[in-house]
Amino acid sequence: MGLLEGKIAIVTGGAKGMGETHARKLADEGAKVVIGDVDVENGEKLAESIGDNASFIELDVTNSTSWDQLVKKTKETFGSIDILVNNAGLAGGMPGLLEIEEDLYKKIIDINQLGVFNGMRAVLPTMIENNKGSIINISSLAGLRHDTTVNPAYTASKFAVRGLTKQAAYEFADKNIRINAVLPGAVLTPMAEATLTKEQIDEVSQTLLPMKRFANPEEVSELIAFLASDKASYISGGDFVVDGARATINK
Ligand SMILES: NC(=O)c1ccc[n+]([C@@H]2O[C@H](COP(=O)([O-])OP(=O)(O)OC[C@H]3O[C@@H](n4cnc5c(N)ncnc54)[C@H](O)[C@@H]3O)[C@@H](O)[C@H]2O)c1
């Protein structure tokens, strides 16, 4: 029997990258999974390839009406909501503080920070009613300290995700709802490939990463499945770093 048998999960930004592997892993562990993403084509393809235990619903995490529709359709399709993985994100390249356009700054905050806030607000009423739930908010190693491979909006948004997580974890602890933050280091996904060239990925691997390689997205999905499961019943409000020891050095 899988870790998540009988549970219903939503994964945002689930059409590709880490969201895709999280959706596959949760389904492998027995959950029914709703993939929410603005990328309809890849999202539908993924749901189809997972099969009956997955469904794609178009979602823009920055829009609370879009969230309300997703929650309604999830409940119509699968009955309830037990797990939310707030994974959708935008990196936005590496402009410095003086170079980043205000519009890009706001867009990154909207997706990475407001998206997480919207997601928690959309699913919490159902979880409160059920007196159970697990929410996993994807922050980043850049939510812990400066990171040479991102921009200030990204770092600010990922620090904010940790703050939101702690605030909410405390507020809903007595409702048996656990809320944790996961902080991946460098993971090889379309986001990493859009930010760095192949040469830069090799250079970062050799100079910044103690394991001399990026993580595979599946290596993060293992932790997501555990935190989503009842095995993690007393784990809430935490920051979980998956970075191959990168945070041990100040690079
Ligand atoms: N790749 C890394 O090295 C790394 C490291 C640390 C943290 N993260 C975080 O992990 C998460 C996943 O990253 P990834 O590398 O898989 O990214 P990715 O770019 O490969 O995938 C992100 C997904 O989010 C979706 N998305 C973007 N805007 C959206 C919106 N408004 N509404 C709904 N969906 C939207 C995209 O369509 C895409 O499918 C992000 O939150 C990211 O910040 C990534």
96 in a domain, yes or no? Answer: yes
CATH number at residue 229: 3.40.50.720
Asked if residue 145 belongs to a domain, the reply is: yes
Contacts of 200 (CB under 8 A, 6+ apart): none
pLDDT of residue 250: 74
Contact 137 CB / ligand 1 (< 6 Å): no
Give the position, in ligand 1's atom list, of the atom nearest the Cα of 112: 41
Verify whether ligand 1 is closer than 6 Å to residue 183 (CB atom): no
Q: Is 154 one of the annotated active-site residues of the chain? A: yes
61 C-beta closer than 6 A to ligand 1: yes
Q: What is the pLDDT of residue 1?
A: 84
Question: Is 248 within the bounds of a domain?
Answer: no
Ligand 1 atom closest to 191 (CA): 19
Q: Quick one: pLDDT at residue 142?
A: 97
Q: Report residues of the chain scoring pLDDT below 50.
A: none
- In this prediction, residue 181 carries a pLDDT of 99
**pLDDT number for residue 212:** 98
Predicted local confidence at residue 249, as pLDDT = 84
Residue 100 domain-assigned (yes or no): yes
Q: Residue 129, Cβ neighbours under 10 Å: how many?
A: 12
Q: Which two tokens stand for residue 2?
A: 């899988």
> Does residue 3 form part of some domain?
no
Cβ of residue 191 lying under 6 Å from some atom of ligand 1: yes
The tens digit of pLDDT for each residue in 106-153 reads 999 999 999 999 999 999 999 999 999 999 999 999 999 999 899 999
Total structural domains in the chain? 1
What whole-number distance in Å separates Cα of residue 157 and Cα of residue 161?
A: 6
Q: Which domain holds residue 51?
A: 8-241
